[in-house]
């Protein structure tokens, strides 16, 4: 007598393997994203004195209850804050924040004009004060309008004071990771 269960089990294993491969191919790695918030599901919040969203992601990793998190950049009214979540709310575009799910690292948007989380320290010849709601676009435009400018660094409001700050640079300096900043180099 031949056993029919052997070939049947083999077909099931092959089918499950194929399904898993398809899921992994289309799902991609989990990652936190700059410019997104996850509203709701909060069970805890705390100030982030360093102003670094990676501190929020690390805290979520250490807590069993945490499934997702949102980091709010500092503003003129309050400091940087981390919100830990017991569920995974849908993400929504919002420049106030960085959000992610447990197990995700912080990644910056792919952008050929802006370097998110980068400071190009040095080479400054001019600094400009912006408003509390100024964006990196304002800083880049100031650099593009000045023939002397080769690079720029935008400092978000709340890191050096209540308003944004823009540094125009006459030379291109090496990039340094700093969550406060968005930089760019003119081509």
40's tokens: 């709701």
Other residues' Cβ atoms within 10 Å of the Cβ of residue 128: 17
Judge whether 26 lies within some domain.
Answer: no
Residues 130-150 have a mean pLDDT of: 93
Judge whether 129 lies within some domain.
Answer: yes
What was the pLDDT predicted at 35?
87
Do 36 and 52 share a domain, yes or no?
yes
Last residue of a domain, one of 52, 79, 107: 107
What was the pLDDT predicted at 14?
44
- The domain that holds 63 is classified in CATH as 3.50.4.10
Each residue's pLDDT tens digit, 10-66: 454 444 444 333 332 233 334 568 889 999 999 999 999 999 999 999 999 999 999
Judge whether 14 lies within some domain.
Answer: no
**For the chain, what is the mean pLDDT?**
84
As a whole number of Å, the CA-based R_g of the chain is 22
Do 131 and 159 share a domain, yes or no?
yes
Last residue of a domain, one of 84, 107, 130: 107
Judge whether 19 lies within some domain.
Answer: no
Do 38 and 85 share a domain, yes or no?
yes
What was the pLDDT predicted at 55?
92
What is the Cα–Cα distance from 170 to 40, expressed in whole angstroms?
44
Do 103 and 119 share a domain, yes or no?
no
Judge whether 36 lies within some domain.
Answer: yes
- Domain region containing 78: 31-107
Judge whether 6 lies within some domain.
Answer: no
Last residue of a domain, one of 107, 123, 145: 107
Each residue's pLDDT tens digit, 64-98: 999 999 999 998 788 999 999 999 999 999 989 99
Could you identify the residue written with the tokens 């670094």?
Answer: 52
Residues of the chain with pLDDT > 70, as a percent, come to 80
Do 155 and 123 share a domain, yes or no?
yes
110: confidence class by pLDDT, cuts 50, 70, 90? confident
Judge whether 128 lies within some domain.
Answer: yes
What is the Cα–Cα distance from 187 to 168, expressed in whole angstroms?
15
Do 50 and 97 share a domain, yes or no?
yes
Total domain count for the chain?
Answer: 2
């Amino acid at each position: 007598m031949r056993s029919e269960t052997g070939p049947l089990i083999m077909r099931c294993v092959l089918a499950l393997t194929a399904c898993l491969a398809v899921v992994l191919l289309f799902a991609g790695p989990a990652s936190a994203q700059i410019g997104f918030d996850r509203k709701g599901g909060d069970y805890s919040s705390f100030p982030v004195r360093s102003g670094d969203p990676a501190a929020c992601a690390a805290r979520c990793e250490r807590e069993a209850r945490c499934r997702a998190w949102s980091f709010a950049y500092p503003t003129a009214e309050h400091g940087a804050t981390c919100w830990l979540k017991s569920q995974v709310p849908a993400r929504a575009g919002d420049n106030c924040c960085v959000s992610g799910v447990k197990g995700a690292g912080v990644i910056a948007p792919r952008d050929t004009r802006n370097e998110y989380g980068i400071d190009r320290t040095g080479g400054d010849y001019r600094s400009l004060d912006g408003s509390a709601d100024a964006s990196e676009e304002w800083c880049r435009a100031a650099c593009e309008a000045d023939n002397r400018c080769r690079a720029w660094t935008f400092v978000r409001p709340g890191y050096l004071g209540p308003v944004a700050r823009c540094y125009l640079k006459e030379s291109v300096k090496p990039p340094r990771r700093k969550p406060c900043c968005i930089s760019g180099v003119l081509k």
